[in-house]
Amino acid sequence: MTRPRLPGRRTALAALLCAVTAATLTSCATERQDRPGVVVTTDILGDITREIAGDEAEVTVLMPTGTDPHSFGVSAPQAARLEQADLVVHNGLGLEENVQHHVRAAQDDGVPVLAVAPAVDPIDHRGGDGAGQPDPHFWTDPQRVRTAVTLIADRIAADVEGVDPGRVRDNAARYGRDIDQLGSEMRTAFGALPAERRRLVTDHHVFGYLAQRFGFTVVGAVIPGGSTLASPSASDLKSLADAIRAADVPAVFTGAAQPDRLARVLRDETGLGVSVVPLYTESLTGPDGGAPTYLAMMRANTRAITAALTSR
């Protein structure tokens, strides 16, 4: 079913949005009428959604590249965009901690909303402060992303008035094949690692899905939880340093967009010459960076992980 256009409040919100973004009211209204809009919270999901929507809908991504989704907050114009969307796509499971109430407000106002992570068979965090809580970082498993592609395509086709469902599903099928190829490449690369080398230490618990899919053991995380907003204690760092020594882990992986000070403290604490290796974890980069798309991000991470875990 499609959601009927609502007059009054939505028209006022559209006018406000146009004014704030310095566009003319006439051109903005024309765009709203002629091209449906999908609003996506994170840039990773935004890239995936753009591949699926193609030219059928305008996809607006709220979070800029290089942003920590745990701490990101929306502006007034972005909140207006949410309430004017034909469909809102968000990660869910607490990833966008400061955005959820805006998503709920849009949903209460009649906007169709898709929470992706709860719909792709989520796993629980196995360690740290978040143990037993659902893990939102599903995109590190390309097979779950393959499921997400179908979910997003189905919702765009069903909820976004004015799109061609056949084209949307064709785009999803093409992109799904790209995801399948990515998964095959990752299986080959990680399969060449000896089992005793498939051990991960990260800045926070972000690679649980990758570990499950490709046979890694997560030794621990610098921040003992699934959010970058938590803080480790001195005893947390000492315990993790002991675990690194016992497992002979050669590298600590950190988010490229996050400060790595704590990881370097941990490295110095171990006294084992552990490398601190940046990965693209929760956000993409600009076009000139190393991870401008989801596919590029995962390939770059696969190369960095395999190189670091065979370094000694």
Residue range 88-118, pLDDT digits in tens = 999 999 999 899 999 999 999 999 999 999 9
**pLDDT, mean over the chain:** 85
Q: How confident is the model at residue 255 (pLDDT cuts 50, 70, 90)?
A: confident
Q: pLDDT value at position 268? A: 76
Residue 75: CB atoms within 10 Å: 10
Q: How far apart are CA 187 and CA 302, in angstroms?
A: 10
Higher-confidence residue of 205 and 147: namely 147
Q: pLDDT value at position 71? A: 87
Higher-confidence residue of 269 and 48: namely 48
Region 158-173 average pLDDT: 97
Q: Over the range 16-27, which residues count as b (16 or more CB within 10 Å of their CB) and which as e? A: ebbeeeeeeeee
Q: How confident is the model at residue 265 (pLDDT cuts 50, 70, 90)?
A: confident
Q: How far apart are CA 201 and CA 220, in angstroms?
A: 5
Q: pLDDT value at position 82? A: 96
Q: Does 69 score more than 80 pLDDT?
A: yes
Q: pLDDT value at position 130? A: 67
Q: pLDDT value at position 8? A: 32
Q: Does 257 score more than 90 pLDDT?
A: no
Q: How confident is the model at residue 167 (pLDDT cuts 50, 70, 90)?
A: very high
Q: Does 235 score more than 70 pLDDT?
A: yes
Higher-confidence residue of 64 and 245: namely 64
C-alpha torsion sign, points 173, 214, 301, 241: positive
Region 215-231 average pLDDT: 73
